[in-house]
Amino acid sequence: MSEQAAEAGNWNLPNVLTGVRILLVPVFGVTLLHDGGESVLWRCVATAVFAVAMVTDKVDGDIARSRGLVTNFGKIADPIADKAMTGMAFVGLSVVGDVWWWVTVIVLLREWSVTVLRLSILSRVVVAAAQSGKVKTTFQVIALTGLSLPLRQVHEGLHDVGAVLFYVFQATLAVAVAMTLWSGYEFFRDVWRQRDSIRAA
């Protein structure tokens, strides 16, 4: 980390965007679950909120790295905000019946165990983000954004289109779950290897 990054104050644009993303978590949950998830309008609003949150997740990281604004607060708050938003999406979509609960439980156990472990070893072991983790995130965002839409609530001419898209996003979610488990395995494997290397040093 550069000296500029190490001295960056917590009050900066990337951290503000992270804070906004955390505040959007309950907003997303309320809009998604409005009227039991059957409202076409509020499902569209929920999808927009989720999309905005995911965009800020990408933007704040890019800004922090390019402007030397990486802070200890950001290292902790950013993954928490990310996992809180996607976690809310999984739970909310399970509540309304669009995602199986066992899928949500498995994904949340993996995501939060990796996040907690990564934060707990932050000062001692650095585990670089693997390509599989980036692929996992991409498929998760696509699947959760799509499934937040009112695909099974639309009627008449859009009903068949919505039904097809619903299963397309379910297939995308299946890929996301597979990549979630694989990237989790890679993370724990790399942590174990680094731990052995530190002990041997």
- In tens, the pLDDT along 95-133 reads 999 999 999 999 999 999 888 887 776 556 555 567 888
DSSP code of residue 149: S
Are the CB atoms for 60 and 78 separated by under 8 Å? yes
Cα angle, residue 133 at apex, residues 43 and 138 outer, rounded to 5°: 35
Q: Which domains does the chain have, with CATH numbers?
A: 3-200 (1.20.120)
Are the CB atoms for 140 and 176 separated by under 8 Å? yes
C-alpha 183, offset from chain centre: 14
**Residue 168 pLDDT level (bands cut at 50, 70, 90):** very high
For 127, phi and psi rounded to 5 degrees?
A: -110, 110
Bigger pLDDT: 52 vs 197: 52
Distance (Å, whole) CA 77 – CA 59:
15
Q: Would you state the pLDDT for residue 198?
A: 55
What is the value of pTM for the model shown? 0.86
Distance (Å, whole) CA 137 – CA 140:
5
Dig out the tokens for 172 from the structure: 């995308």
Share above pLDDT 90 across residues of the chain, in percent, rounded to a whole number: 54
pLDDT tens digits, residue range 55-98?
998 888 778 888 777 777 777 888 889 999 999 999 999 999 99
Q: Would you state the pLDDT for residue 2?
A: 45
